[in-house]
Chain A
Amino acid sequence: MLGALIIVFREVFEAGLVIGIVLAATRLVAGSRWWIAGGVLAGIAGSALLAMFAEVVSKWADGFGQELFNAGVLAIAVGMLVWHNLWMARHGRELAAELTAAGQAVSEGRRPLAALAVVVGVAVLREGAEIALFMYGIVLAGGDSWSSLALGSVLGLVLGGAVSALTYLGLVKIPTRYLFSVTSGLITLLAASMASQCAAFLLASGKVNVLSATAWDTSWLIDEGSIPGRLLHTLIGYAQTPSELQVLVYLVTLVAIVALTKALSPNHAPRAAAAGR
């Protein structure tokens, strides 16, 4: 049972973190919970479908369909995160002004919630299909141990939910005026991390073959499979043996988001506009 619990928990861990961060980032936005719940449900439904058609997907692209599929959904998630952060850069100041004025929530639709729902959906989908296959395997194998394995899997899922809750509760302890900067920072790192994973899948598919050499090996320092390793993997994109392309894509994404955010931020506009609201 413990084995099944650990396997499932490791898979849901990453999605749990992402959901927690997005929940905290949109805490004050009316209707955000519905969007996020929708993202999670769509991710679960997608996982079941993907698990069902795993063999078909595998056969695409001369046997590298899984890699290209993963690269594709990650690219979509990165696009959504970039869109969200740029939108916030443009409108964040107005929102902050409204927050101080009204003292609380802003109206629905003041933030690209659909973008974040897609990101949550992708996070669930990526790991969910593996869990679905794992549990399908348990049922298929049958035998005496299947009920205890199933129980372990369910407990693993529950623990994953606890990771979401802890991440959320930890983040919302941060005072509101800093929370916005912290979650924007986390989302920027998440985007860079997902972009670098996308690059890793493109290389793994063999369809892209540039800068494929291993940049460095830090497996002696932090094992990517351990819980600290997984935490860093999700939060900042830690990879113990990244390829040069992964490192490059990571840095380019990070710099691009920061530069575009600066360029679009109304900071540069006369402050009167913001103060006048």
Chain B
Amino acid sequence: MNMRKLQVIAALLAVALGASGFAASADEMKTYEITVKDKVFTPNQITVKAGEPFRIKLKNANPMPVELESSKLGFEKVAAGFSDILVNVRAQAPGTYTFFDDFHPKETTGQVVVQ
């Protein structure tokens, strides 16, 4: 059992190390800055290129935390009061995608237009 456990752990480590070797430099990705203040995203719409990964930098100008979320774009991340967060977004097919503050999902929304 112990031997087998060790083998499993070794295999997992090998996979993890192998995968990290592929880590690309994310600095080349285009970053779009959005500010959230008083339940409003500014800008509340950004346009990005289809098929290219990108980043969103959210500046939270409120004292309250917000949670930037979009299930279709695949992110869900909390920004504490008066702080910034970054999210990586995978390459997307053309279309319009909604993102929102999960703490005010109806009021605080924005869109990513992929074309």
- Interface residues of A, Cβ cutoff 8 Å to B: 3, 7, 54-55, 58, 62-64, 66-67, 82, 86, 90, 129-130, 133-134, 136-137, 140-141, 200, 202-210, 212-214, 217, 219, 223-225, 240-241, 243, 256, 260, 264
Contacts and interface: CB of A to CB of B under 8 A. Distances in A.
A57 B106 CA distance: 28
B80 interface: yes
A82 B93 CA distance: 36
B105 A137 contact: no
B67 A213 contact: no
B114 interface: no
Contact of B88 (A3, A133, A206): A206
7 contacts: A55-B83, A58-B78, A62-B86, A129-B78, A137-B64, A203-B88, A260-B8
The 3 A-B pairs of least Cβ separation, nearest first, read: A137-B64, A55-B80, A206-B26
Interface in B1-21: 1, 4, 8, 19-20
A213 B83 contact: no
B97 to A, nearest CB: 10
B contact patch SS: loop
A134 B103 contact: yes
Given A7-B102, A130-B78, A136-B65, A241 B72 contact: yes
Contacts of A241: 71-72, 74
Nearest to B87: A204
Contacts of B40: none
B63 A58 contact: no
B91 to A, nearest CB: 7
Nearest to A263: B4
A133 B80 contact: yes
B90 interface: yes
Contacts of B19: 202, 208, 210
In this complex, the interface size class of chain B, counting residues with CB under 8 Å from chain A, is: 35 or more
Contacts of A214: 90-93
Contacts of A133: 65, 67, 78, 80, 103
A205 B88 CA distance: 7
Max chain B CB contacts within 10 Å: which of A54, A141, A219, A260? A54
A64 B71 contact: no
A208 B22 contact: yes
Most A CB contacts (10 A, CB to CB) among B74, B77, B104, B106 go to B74
A141 B63 CA distance: 8
B18 to A, nearest CB: 9
A204 B74 contact: yes
Contacts of B50: none
Given A140-B63, A202-B19, A208-B23, 15 more contacts: A3-B105, A3-B106, A7-B105, A55-B83, A67-B77, A90-B1, A134-B67, A134-B103, A206-B26, A207-B23, A208-B22, A225-B71, A256-B8, A260-B8, A264-B4
A134 B23 contact: no
Contacts of A209: 22-24
A203 B90 contact: yes
B79 interface: yes
A240 B75 CA distance: 12
A58 B80 contact: yes
Contacts of A134: 65, 67, 103
Given A7-B105, A206-B26, A213-B91, A137 B65 contact: yes
A67 B76 CA distance: 10
B81 A140 contact: yes
A54 B64 contact: no
Interface string B48-70: 00000100000000011111000
